[in-house]
Structure 1
Amino acid sequence: MSPNPPGTPASRTSPTSPVTAADVDLAVALALETLRGADPAGWDAPAGPLAWSCWETTEHLADDLFCYAAQLTTAQPQLDGYVPFEVSARREGGPRNAVAADRTAGPDGLLRVLDAGGGLLSAVVRATPVGRLGHHPFGTSDPEGFAAMGVVEVLVHLDDLARGLGLTWAPPADLCGRVLTRLFPDAPAGTEPWPTLLWATGRGELPGRPRLTSWRWDSRPRR
């Protein structure tokens, strides 16, 4: 379905700055700072509403960032599918990733894998020409779009992880606002950006609006 029920939200038309590699850097840095405060014994707990553990969700997040970077790096971009890395799940029902962290490296090693995924996406977004396109099932996208998708993955999965690990997580409103404008252009206007992003990704409620049971962003280029 579209990101929002037809006819309910107002359009977000206020001008905003583009989403950049610096936003990826900021989101990942804030995530790492938050996750370093987690109890080392808590990583196998469920990640909030997800069926995955906190460890699995962090691997999935690192994998998202890595794969978004890969979509922009091929000399001849393929717009009909993802770069065909082999993916697998470590258990039935777990995330199917191309990237996994060595469990013997512990939580510090897991966070290094997440840090590396963020660094790859940030570097690729900085180096890729503006007009380059890559595949995503929610809309073939450009470097800004992949940066925004990476930021959303970090912000909303950190909410899942914070719930599972008993941490506090509230990202900057301006960062949330930029990715809402880029990926959820029909999200409600006049509401606080962070609760609105949680609502738009099916993780929260807004006054007068039911929680979404399915959602998707629109990653097509805006320019």
Structure 2
Amino acid sequence: MSRSIASERSPVTADDLDRAVQLAVATLREAPAAAWESKAGSLTWDCWETVEHLSDDLFAYAVQLGPRTPPLTGNVPYVWASRRPGGPSNAVHADHAAGPAGLLQVLEASGALLVAMVRTSPADVRAYHSHGVSDPEGFAAMGVVETLVHTHDLAEGLGLGWTPPADLCARVLARLFPDAPSATDPWPTLLWATGRAELPGHPRLTTWRWYGAPLAEQPAAEG
């Protein structure tokens, strides 16, 4: 795994995460009310479920950083449950009676929780994630990736345009996907790295993962 990128990259910040969430919420507010039952892009969930899943991701990352001594071997033991067979397994669900506006309020609130935890957690804090024990910057980067790519899924299902800022994409690629191609545009590259698109010379991935551990703590690649 290349390490030169570690000294060249700009860190992912709480402000980056807040920006990603606010851009996503502003875009999703343009969706027709009748479109929320549509399938979200290539996912098996509908658009309402996908926003619940994204909200749950942001919430789950926030609570990992919450305890005075964060867990290093597993998740904080909330109960995650699906409302239907094949639906996302969440601790966070939105009240359908509140409609799309309430759903997006849930998303914004979950994002704000993670923003606050990233801002207030010391840089040397570590907490468990299945893709590597991570630090506050890593959880911010994970939250940005979840927000950008799931808003892509939602935009496809809701008939909306969505092209997030290249600088946001570049920072999370450098933090979580250090082996991703560096000579291609950041947004298509992030879609490729998360299994959602092809890149010239790079077939669409059928499996993918990010590397949550701080770059200096990741094992060096062989060869």
Q: TM-score, normalised by structure 2?
A: 0.94
- The residue aligned with 2:97 is 104
Q: Distance in 1 between matches of 2:53 and 2:159?
A: 19
Deviations 1:108-137 (A, max 9, x none): 000000000110000000000000011001
The amino acid across from 2:35 in the alignment is G
The amino acid across from 2:117 in the alignment is V
Q: Distance in 1 between matches of 2:176 and 2:3?
A: 12
CA contact (8 A) 2:3 2:215 kept: no
- The residue aligned with 1:119 is 112
- The residue aligned with 2:204 is 211
1:26 aligned residue (2, 19, 29): 19
Q: Distance in 2 between matches of 1:161 and 1:12?
A: 35
- The residue aligned with 1:184 is 177
2:136 aligned residue (133, 137, 143): 143
- The residue aligned with 1:152 is 145
Deviations 1:151-199 (A, max 9, x none): 0000000000000000000000000000000000000011000000000
Q: TM-score, normalised by structure 1?
A: 0.94
CA contact (8 A) 1:82 1:135 kept: yes
- Runs of 4+, deviation exceeding 3 Å: none
CA contact (8 A) 1:12 1:181 kept: no
The amino acid across from 1:187 in the alignment is A
State the superposition RMSD in angstroms: 1.4
The amino acid across from 1:189 in the alignment is S
Q: How does 1:62-101 map to 2 (within 5 A)?
A: 62-101=55-94
CA contact (8 A) 1:12 1:188 kept: no
Q: Distance in 2 between matches of 1:34 and 1:150?
A: 17
CA contact (8 A) 1:11 1:189 kept: no
Work out whether 1:41 is the aligned partner of 2:34.
yes
CA contact (8 A) 1:65 1:121 kept: yes
2:188 aligned residue (180, 195, 203): 195
Q: Distance in 2 between matches of 1:48 and 1:11?
A: 34
Structure 2 gaps, min length 5: 217-223
Q: Distance in 2 between matches of 1:211 and 1:147?
A: 26
Deviation at 1:16, TM superposition (A): 2.1
Deviation at 1:12, TM superposition (A): 7.1
Q: Distance in 2 between matches of 1:213 and 1:12?
A: 27
Q: Distance in 1 between matches of 2:191 and 2:4?
A: 16
Q: Distance in 2 between matches of 1:79 and 1:11?
A: 24
Aligned residues: 215
Q: Distance in 1 between matches of 2:3 and 2:133?
A: 22
Q: Distance in 2 between matches of 1:52 and 1:215?
A: 19
Q: Distance in 1 between matches of 2:140 and 2:122?
A: 13
Q: Distance in 2 between matches of 1:63 and 1:153?
A: 10
Q: Distance in 2 between matches of 1:97 and 1:32?
A: 20
Deviation at 1:222, TM superposition (A): 2.4
CA contact (8 A) 1:145 1:220 kept: yes
